[in-house]
Amino acid sequence: MTTQSKVQLWNRALQKVGARRIATEDEDSKEVETCSACYDSLRRDELRGNAWKFAIKRVQLAASGNAPAWGRERFFALPGDYLKDVPQDPKFMETPADWLFETDSNGVTGIATDDAAPLDFRYVYDCTEVGRFDPLFFEALAARMAAEIVYDLKQSTGGKQDLLTEYEVLMGRARRLNAIEIGPSEPDEDTWITERL
CA distances from 148 to 22, 135, 161 (A): 17, 20, 11
**Residues 65, 151 within the same domain:** no
Query: Per the domain annotation, does 11 fall within a domain?
Result: yes
**Residues 178, 143 within the same domain:** yes
Query: Per the domain annotation, does 90 fall within a domain?
Result: yes
Q: Which domain holds residue 10?
A: 6-51+127-182
Query: Per the domain annotation, does 190 fall within a domain?
Result: no
pLDDT at 93: 64
**Residues 95, 140 within the same domain:** no
Query: Per the domain annotation, does 194 fall within a domain?
Result: no
pLDDT at 65: 87
Query: pTM for this one?
Result: 0.86
Q: Is the dihedral of CA 126, 50, 179, 13 positive or negative?
A: negative
Residue 76: φ, ψ to 5°: -120, 120
Query: Per the domain annotation, does 78 fall within a domain?
Result: yes
How close are the terminal C-alpha atoms of the chain, in Å? 46
- Helices (H) and strands (E) counted in the chain, each on its own, are 5, 6
- Compute the distance between CA of residue 146 and CA of residue 151 in angstroms, rounded to an integer: 9
- Compute the distance between CA of residue 116 and CA of residue 126 in angstroms, rounded to an integer: 26
Query: Per the domain annotation, does 82 fall within a domain?
Result: yes
Render each residue's pLDDT in the chain as its tens digit; 197 residues.
457 999 999 999 999 999 999 999 999 999 999 999 999 999 999 999 999 999 999 999 999 988 898 999 999 999 999 999 998 887 766 777 789 999 988 899 999 999 999 999 999 999 999 999 999 999 999 999 999 999 999 988 889 999 999 999 999 999 999 999 877 655 545 555 556 55
Which residues contact residue 2 at a Cβ distance below 8 angstroms, ignoring those fewer than 6 apart?
A: 131, 133, 135, 138
Is residue 110 packed enough to be buried (19+ CB in 10 Å), middle (13-18) or exposed (0-12)? buried
* Counted domains in the chain: 2
